[in-house]
Structure 1
Amino acid sequence: MDGRPVLVATECEDATADLVITELNRRRVPVLRFDPGRDFPTRATLAASVTADGWAGRLTAGERTADLANIRALYHRRPNAYLAEHDDQAERFAVQENRRGLGGVLAALPGCLYLSHPQAIARAEYKPEQLSVAARLGLTVPATLITSDPAEAKTFAAAQPTIYKPLHAGAYEVDGEPAGIWAASVDPGEITDAVSRCAHLFQAQVPKVGDVRAVVVGDRVFCALITAPAGVVDWRSEYRNLTYEPVDCPEPIRAALVAFLAHYGLNFGAFDFAVTAEGAWWFLECNPNGQWAWLEHAANLPITSAIADLLENGESQ
C-alpha cells in the first residue's frame, strides 16, 4: 500500500466508519479497514518484529498490506471482541494469544496517532472515575451515589428527585430481543433488596429543559442541543421525537472537555450534559467511543471532516 496508510479497526457493517473512509478516499489517503476480532488470523495476517524504533513488519487484510513502521493513524472504531468459535481449551488459548499478539502490536505502533488508543478508551469507560475527573476540572456534576446497599439507596432517593442509570451500556435482551437500559426516575418505594446483587448508580435528577451532546475531536468541540418531549428522562429512548440545533460551547466548558481528553490520552469523546432553564450545563458522562454520525446530519456539524483531518495529519500525541 503506497503512502502512509490509516488503519480502521471496526466491525463489518459500520456506517459511521464508512463516512470517514469515504472522506479519506476523497483526499487520497490510503486506508486499510479490518476487524481484528473477526478477521485475524483467517482473513488477516501479521508479521511483526521489534526494532530499536518500535515494531516493523506488515499487516495484510484481503488484498491490502500495510507497513507497520509507517502507519499514519489507527481509527479504533468498533471492532468485535476476540472470540472463540468453539468453547474448548485450545480455542480459548488462541483467542487470548490473538488479543495480546495482534492487539499488543497495534497498541504500540511507532509514530502512530490513535483515535483513540484502545487502552485509553477502556480506562475512560469507568463512570465513577469520569465523574471525579469532571468535577476536578470544574464541570458541574449532580450528586451521585454508587452503592449495593438498599437502605443507602432509599435514603438517597428520599432526599431529592433521583434517577437510576447503568454503569455500563452492555448488551441486554428481553424475551430474546435486544433492549436498552435507559436512565429512569426512581422512587424510594421502588428500591428493593435486589440492589444488593450488584453496584448501582443513583443520581440527583437535574431539572433540565434539554440535553447537549458535545463531540470533541482533538481540540475541536461540536455541540448540539437535543430537545425531547416533556417528561422524558433519557433522550435516547425517544429518537423519533427529538429536535436538534447546533449550539456554541461555553469557553470554560470547552477548555474542561479538552483537558478531560488530555487526562485520559484520548483524541475523541462524546459528552452528555443536562441543560437547565438558567443555561447551566450539568456533566452526565463521556462515551470515549460514542456514536456521532446521526448528529452530524441532524445538527449540521462537520464531524466527519474533523475526524478525517486528524487522521490525515497523523501526528502522534
Structure 2
Amino acid sequence: MEDQRGSVLVLTNSCDVTADVVLRLLAGRRVSVVRVDPGADFHEGASLAAAYRTGDQRGTLRTRSRELDLTRVRSVWVRRPSPYEGAPGLQGQDRRFSAEQSYWGTGGILASLPGAHYVNHPWSNRAAEYKPAQLAAAQRSGFLLPHTLITDNESDARDFVAHERGGVVYKPVWNTPYRIGDQPHSVWVREVHGHEITSAVAVCPHIFQAKVDKAFDVRVTAVGDRLTGTRIDSPDLDWRYRQDLMRCTPIAIPEAVADSIASYLADFGLTFGAFDFAVTADRAWYFLECNPSGQWAWQPAGTTDAVAHAIADQLQRGSGT
C-alpha cells in the first residue's frame, strides 16, 4: 500500500541519472514522488501557485501528469535543477526579467514549504558553495587545511608561491563554464610556478594553495551522520582530469575527521555533502573542498548503494528525522 504521509519533491534536470538511483528505491517503498525541473518545466506546461494569509499557507504544483498539494510535501531533494533562464520566447531584458522573477518567485516558494525536510535547503546549498566560506567553516570545524591564498594581487601571489617550498597549485574560485572555440574547456587544478604569475591575476580573485604531498585522495560522502569513504588513486594531480585512469576502493574514515564533518555540516545546515581530502603518507587528511550537491554514483557499487539508501531514508522520513 502507498505511504500516505506526503510526497517527496525532487528538483532536478531531466538528464540527472543519479537521481534515478534514489527514485527507484523510493518507488520500491511505495513513497509518492513528484519530479520537476523548476528552471525548465514551468515553461513547458507545469505551473505553481502559493497563497498566504494570517495563520495559513497553501499552494499547488501542477505538472503534465500530477497535481501536488504543497502542504503535503514531506521532503524536498534539491539535486541539480536547471538555472532559471526565462521564458524561451522572450529576448533581452524581457527574458532577463522573466528569469529573475522565476528565481525569486518560483525559487522562493519551493524553498519555503511548511514542514518539509530539505536535502539540502537551496539557501544552505548556495551559502556552502562559496570557496572562501568553505575554508572558513573547515577551519572552525577542526580540519587540517593547506596554506591557501585567495587574491587578485600579483605581488601577493608571487610572494606566496616563492615561500611555499613544496609547491603551489592553482584552482578557480568557481567552476564557470568556459569554451575555447566551440569546445567546452575545464579548468583543472594544476601546479603553478612563480614565472607564470602575471598582471592577469588582477582581473579576478584566484585561489593559490600549498601543494599537499599526498599519497592518495579521498572522497567522503556524508548523508546526515552516515558517512562513506572512497580512496582514489590517480596518476594526476586532479583525479577528475582522467577518471578512466583512477582506481577507487573503500576506506575507513578516522574518528577525528568524522567529527569535523559533523561540525561542518551543522555549520552550514547541510544534510548532504561530498567532501574531498588529500591524504599524506603519514595519514594526515587535508580538507580541500565540500560540494553540497556533489555527484556520488561514480563510486564503487557498494558505496553508491549505501549513499542511495541513506538519501532515500532521509527523504522518506521527512522532517521527523
| TM-score class normalised by the smaller sequence | over 0.9
Partner of 1:143: 147
Partner of 2:199: 193
Deviations 1:240-288 (A, max 9, x none): 1011111111111111111111111111100000000001100001101
- Listed as ranges, the matches of 1:1-317 within 5 Å are 3=4, 4-51=6-53, 55-84=57-86, 85=88, 86-160=90-164, 161-229=167-235, 232-297=236-301, 299=303, 302-315=306-319
RMSD, aligned CA: 1.7
Q: Is the 8 A contact 2:3 2:31 kept in 1?
A: no
Q: Deviation at 1:53?
A: 5.7
Q: Is the 8 A contact 1:8 1:31 kept in 2?
A: yes
CA distance in 1, matches of 2:171, 2:150: 10
CA distance in 1, matches of 2:115, 2:55: 9
SS of structure 2 residue aligned to 1:146: strand
CA distance in 2, matches of 1:142, 1:8: 36
Amino acid at match of 1:136: R
Count of aligned pairs between the two proteins = 315
Closer/same/farther in 2, CA of residues 5 and 12 from structure 1, 3 Å limit? same
Closer/same/farther in 2, CA of residues 311 and 299 from structure 1, 3 Å limit? closer
TM-score in terms of structure 1 length = 0.95
CA distance in 2, matches of 1:154, 1:316: 52
Deviations 1:9-65 (A, max 9, x none): 111111101111111111111110010000114321112112556631210111111
Q: Is the 8 A contact 1:268 1:289 kept in 2?
A: yes
Q: Deviation at 1:138?
A: 0.9
Q: Deviation at 1:151?
A: 1.4
CA distance in 2, matches of 1:55, 1:259: 33
Q: Is the 8 A contact 2:298 2:304 kept in 1?
A: no
Q: Is the 8 A contact 1:150 1:193 kept in 2?
A: yes
Closer/same/farther in 2, CA of residues 107 and 296 from structure 1, 3 Å limit? farther
Closer/same/farther in 2, CA of residues 57 and 2 from structure 1, 3 Å limit? farther
Deviations 1:212-264 (A, max 9, x none): 001000111111000002xx211111201011111111111111111111111
Q: Deviation at 1:159?
A: 1.4
Q: Is the 8 A contact 1:55 1:108 kept in 2?
A: no
> Which aligned runs of 4 or more in structure 1 are off by greater than 6 angstroms?
none
Amino acid at match of 2:259: A
Deviations 1:117-170 (A, max 9, x none): 111100101111111111121100000011111111111111121000011112
- Structure 1 unaligned residues grouped into runs of 5+: none
Closer/same/farther in 2, CA of residues 150 and 79 from structure 1, 3 Å limit? same
